[in-house]
Amino acid sequence: MSKLNLLQINDLTKKYYNKTALSNVSLNFEPGKIYGLLGPNGSGKTTLMKVVAGLHKQTSGNVLINDEELSYKTKAYVSYMPTENFMYDSFKVIDIVKFYNDMYKDFRIDYALNLINEININLNYKISNLSSGQVAKLKSVIALSRDASIYMLDEPLNGVDVLSRDAIMDIITKSNNENKVIIISTHLVSEIEKILDTVIFLKDGIVEVFGDAEELRQSRQLSVEGLYKEVFRNA
Amino acid sequence: MILALVKEGDKLEFKNNVPIYLQVIEKIKQDIVSGKLKPGEKMLSSREYSNELGLNFNTIARVYKELEMEEIVFTKRGLGTFITESAEHISSLRYDMAKKQIAAFIKGMQQIGYTKEEMIRFIETENNYMERNE
Amino acid sequence: MLKLIKLEFMRKSKFIAMTLITAVALNMYLITRGPAGSTMFLVLFPPALFVAYLIDIIKMYSEDINKKTGYMLFMTPNSGYKIISSKLFTAVLEGLAILLIYFIFILINGAYIIISTGAEVDYSQLISVVDRFISGNFGFSLGHVFVILLTALTLLIAFITTVYTAMTIRKSIFSEIKFGGLLSFIIFLLINWALSSASNKFFDIISPYYDSIGSGAAGGITPEKLAMGLLPMIAVSIIQAIVLTGFSGYLLEKKINL
């Protein structure tokens, strides 16, 4: 299946009663690349991800995943990691793993159990008994254990200690291949930028910048973080 | 088959304001010229190498492509990517790198106000000093 | 679908276990108070479980649609129709299970009460023994109890689906407007009012049906007659539950904003 764009966002607008979160956003995501979705709070990054994940309905515009219109079926191709704590508190880690294994055909349970072991989380602990750092790591691991076409990670490094961030980024880069798209939204630009192929700057629901990270470095002689500070200086 | 630019457990740090693939290319060139990488030596696959450096595999694919265009590495279909065996290529690489170093050195010293003779004398004395204290 | 229902029961397993244990403990304690205590238990059980059930079933959906933990369920590749139907099926199964458990308690306590009057109990005929005892002493039979409780269950489930619909409206078409919560509650009241008016009209229209059943001859209404009399109500409730669930499913599919 060779598609030019695994994920196509066409003229997407999302309005809430007191603000417009996304304004005519059009983006194409090619397989094989890692995208950074960058911008300050309220820029629309989370809204964009939630629309693609099927949790929010857009006001206008459409989204195509593998050339299919967004529906409950396309959720099978998308692995979304929300920034919020969304896992059932009363569940043990192993219950969460079993849930994913039951609900998603593409869940790689052995891979997940391995990774959970590597990040030193006890399968029998309840989610409510994990530290926030452990929950943050577990979320990423679970999301990346799915063999999905599209991964959307909303702030995967938030709350993760400095040493574990490398581990998470490693798992992210190892997850990538020519058939997948990985979209990462984050504030920690300087840490993540070395693994990004393409960066997207979102400001007040509008795409301000879209470009190859290395080309931006070459032409502007700035790091992505430096460019970020320039673009969002007044945000 | 070794391409140990990185000590085990350590990760290379990259500057974010210079294209990363250029920095990796630079490092590989240095290692070739310094002898850490032998002529004809087999390199890690771009996937393995990117895992080792903690980078995106696209970045390393680009590195390998550039190096191949510069004929510093070559690919044997199905077997992998190898450092060039051409001593000529390696010494011209060495020459190019040295030239860059010299140019930067001369420019820097001129800015401090050194003349050519002063520069040459300084190189000699400094070199002797460094050799003695090795 | 089965996976979803299994998930629901798994999430409430602790609550179910605790309720059962409490009920058994309470029963054991009240039995120590003699047949009167036993009777009291049987009388208290329905209303108490009614409330517990109502809270549990509403919570089962409210937690998913209002809290972020709902993402677990709503990110799965299941249609909104399937998700909310699974809740409905779980509610039905849970309700029937509670009825069954209640009947077991009736049989156990009934046997105890009968024994404490000095009579013998033939356990191989336990159901009819208890049935006769109740009919003899209270004028109604187990059949009546079953019919009434089943009707109450369907009415309760139908009511719960109006709550579900209002909550769904709140998180879909009214999610982006001011006073969405208040409006959703008003819609909830309106739905209930409209449905009860409509069903009352319906019961009026079909009054010949009630005449045809006839009231009890000397001796009162049989459980069968009672069931037939309540059948329209049950049918209306079932239809209401299905329609509202379908509507909520539609909203979840097309208009959701979690």
C-alpha–C-alpha distance, residues C27 and C254, integer Å:
48
Q: What is the mean pLDDT of residues A220-225?
A: 94
What is the four-CA torsion angle of A15, A17, A18, A19, rounded to 10 degrees? Answer: 0
- The whole domain housing C96 covers 2-254
Q: What is the residue extent of each domain of chain A?
A: 7-231
Query: How many H-runs (helices) and E-runs (strands) does chain B carry?
Result: 5, 2
- Reported as a single tens digit per residue, the pLDDT across C193-234 is 999 999 899 888 888 887 777 665 555 788 888 888 889 899
Quote the number of domains for chain C: 1
Among A78, A16, A83, A84, CA closest to A52:
A78
B46 to chain A, any CB pair closer than 8 A? The answer is no
Q: Among residues of chain C, what percentage have pLDDT more than 90?
A: 64
State the amino acid at position C56 in one-letter form. Answer: D
Q: Inform me whether the pLDDT recorded for C160 exceeds 50.
A: yes
Per CATH, the architecture of A7-231 is what? 3-Layer(aba) Sandwich (3.40)
- Reported as a single tens digit per residue, the pLDDT across C67-123 is 999 999 999 999 999 999 999 999 999 999 999 999 999 999 988 888 888 887 777
C78 to chain A, any CB pair closer than 8 A? The answer is yes
- Reported as a single tens digit per residue, the pLDDT across B25-72 is 999 999 999 888 999 999 999 999 999 999 999 999 999 999 999 999
- Reported as a single tens digit per residue, the pLDDT across B60-97 is 999 999 999 999 999 988 888 999 998 888 899 999 98
Q: Which of A157, A162, A194 to mutate to test the interface with B (most CBs of B within 10 A)?
A: A194
Report the gap between the CA of A214 and the closest CA in chain B (Å): 5
* Interface subset of C 190-249, CB within 8 angstroms of A: none
In chain B, residues with a C-beta closer than 8 Å to the C-beta of A194 are 14, 16, 20, 54-56
Give the pLDDT band (50/70/90) at residue B2.
very low
Q: In chain A, which residue's Cα lies nearest the Cα of C171?
A: A56
- Reported as a single tens digit per residue, the pLDDT across C32-76 is 888 888 999 999 999 999 999 999 999 999 999 999 999 999 999
3-state secondary structure of A128: helix
In chain A, residues with a C-beta closer than 8 Å to the C-beta of C255 are 57
Q: Inform me whether the pLDDT recorded for B8 exceeds 80.
A: no
Q: Inform me whether the pLDDT recorded for B1 exceeds 60.
A: no
Residue C86 pLDDT:
97
The answer for residues whose C-beta is within 8 angstroms of residue B130's C-beta and 6 or more apart is none
Q: Among residues of chain A, what percentage have pLDDT more than 90?
A: 91
DSSP label of A107: B
End-to-end, the C-alpha distance of chain A in Å comes to 41
Q: Inform me whether the pLDDT recorded for A122 exceeds 90.
A: yes
Decide: C and B in contact? Rule: 3+ Cβ pairs under 8 Å. Answer: no
CA distances from residue C28 to C22, C23, C31, C109 in whole angstroms, order as listed: 10, 9, 5, 10
What ipTM score was computed for the predicted complex, to two decimals? 0.92
Q: What is the residue extent of each domain of chain B?
A: 20-83, 87-132
Rg (CA), chain A: 17
C-alpha–C-alpha distance, residues A194 and B14, integer Å:
8
Among A71, A35, A26, A32, CA closest to A53:
A71
C-alpha–C-alpha distance, residues A53 and A67, integer Å:
15
A144 or C138, higher pLDDT: A144
Give the pLDDT band (50/70/90) at residue A4.
confident
Residue C210 pLDDT:
78
Q: Which of A169, A182, A199, A217 to mutate to test the interface with B (most CBs of B within 10 A)?
A: A217
Would you call A176 and B51 a contact, using CB atoms and an 8 Å cutoff? no
Cβ-nearest to C74 among A55, A73, A87: A55
Mean residue pLDDT of chain B comes to 87
C178 to chain A, any CB pair closer than 8 A? The answer is yes
Report the gap between the CA of A95 and the closest CA in chain B (Å): 31
The answer for residues whose C-beta is within 8 angstroms of residue A71's C-beta and 6 or more apart is A54
- Reported as a single tens digit per residue, the pLDDT across A85-103 is 999 999 999 999 999 999 9
Cβ-nearest to C71 among A55, A90, A104: A55
Q: Are strands A78-81 and A181-186 parallel, antiparallel or unpaired?
A: unpaired
Q: Are strands B73-76 and A206-212 parallel, antiparallel or unpaired?
A: unpaired
Report the gap between the CA of C182 and the closest CA in chain A (Å): 16
The backbone torsions φ and ψ at residue B34, rounded to the nearest 5 degrees and listed phi first, read -80, -5
DSSP label of B90: H
In chain B, residues with a C-beta closer than 8 Å to the C-beta of A176 are 56-57
CB environment B66-80: b (16+ within 10 A), e (fewer): bbeeeebbeeeeeee
In chain A, residues with a C-beta closer than 8 Å to the C-beta of C177 are 17
Would you call C71 and A82 a contact, using CB atoms and an 8 Å cutoff? yes
Would you call B57 and A217 a contact, using CB atoms and an 8 Å cutoff? no
The answer for residues whose C-beta is within 8 angstroms of residue A138's C-beta and 6 or more apart is A87, A93, A96, A116, A119, A121, A130
Give the pLDDT band (50/70/90) at residue C170.
very high
Would you call A176 and B59 a contact, using CB atoms and an 8 Å cutoff? no
Among A12, A127, A14, A109, CA closest to A64:
A12
Given the candidates 3.40.50.150, 3.40.50.1000, 3.30.465.10, 1.10.10.10, the CATH classification of the domain at B20-83 is 1.10.10.10
Would you call A17 and C178 a contact, using CB atoms and an 8 Å cutoff? yes
Among A137, A91, A131, CA closest to A117:
A137
A3 to chain B, any CB pair closer than 8 A? The answer is no
Q: What is the DSSP string of C115-152?
A: HHTT----GGGHHHHHHHHHHHHHS--HHHHHHHHHHH
CB environment A119-147: b (16+ within 10 A), e (fewer): bebeeeeebeebeeebbbbbbbbbbbbbb
